Homo-oligomer: A and B are copies of this chain.
Amino acid sequence: MKIGVSFSALDPWAEIRLYQETNRDCAGKFGATASFVGTMREFNEGEGVTGMTLEHYPGMTDRQLEKIVANAAKQFPILDVLLIHRVGDLLPNDPIVLVAVWSAHRQAAFDACRMIMEELKSTAPFWKKEVLEKGTRWVEKNTTG
């Protein structure tokens, strides 16, 4: 299990590949890996966005992310999880978050991956400030969309 924040650019697919190669405990036992990568778009709420700052609450972030993964592991038979969230200054197309879940079977991997993303959105202490053509704005809420 690896959970944390990254202060520098994420290469999500390389991270997952490397993690799976170096963590062989569940090799041969997993049949399913569901993953999700969130990426910064160049528009939001109908406006062009040229940059974003991701602020977080150090310490509380790690604690909440670990809680979220523990909840998913309690509810679904999963074998391993990789979860990394960016903080700092981002540009459009930069990855924001990656989660990968290994499980023996498909359904548990999908369900746990989605649950982690949902809980993260509502409980992990991150805040986004977008840079627009004119000035900046705090993202006020995450819709369920």
> Which residues of A are interface residues toward B (Cβ below 8 A)?
11, 13-14, 16-17, 20, 27-43, 92-93, 104-107, 109-110, 113-114, 117, 144-145
Contact = CB atoms under 8 A, between A and B. Distances in A.
B13 A17 contact: yes
Nearest to A98: B33
B31 A41 contact: yes
Given A17-B14, A104-B41, A28 B92 contact: yes
Contacts of A34: 34-36, 113
22 contacts: A11-B17, A13-B13, A27-B93, A28-B42, A29-B41, A29-B43, A30-B39, A32-B36, A32-B37, A32-B38, A32-B39, A33-B37, A33-B39, A34-B34, A34-B35, A34-B113, A35-B37, A36-B109, A38-B106, A41-B104, A107-B145, A110-B110
A37 to B, nearest CB: 4
A34 B39 CA distance: 11
Contacts of A13: 13-14, 16-17, 20
A39 B35 contact: no
A93 B27 CA distance: 6
Contacts of A104: 41
A14 B16 CA distance: 10
CB-based closest 4 A-B pairs: A13-B17, A28-B42, A33-B37, A13-B13
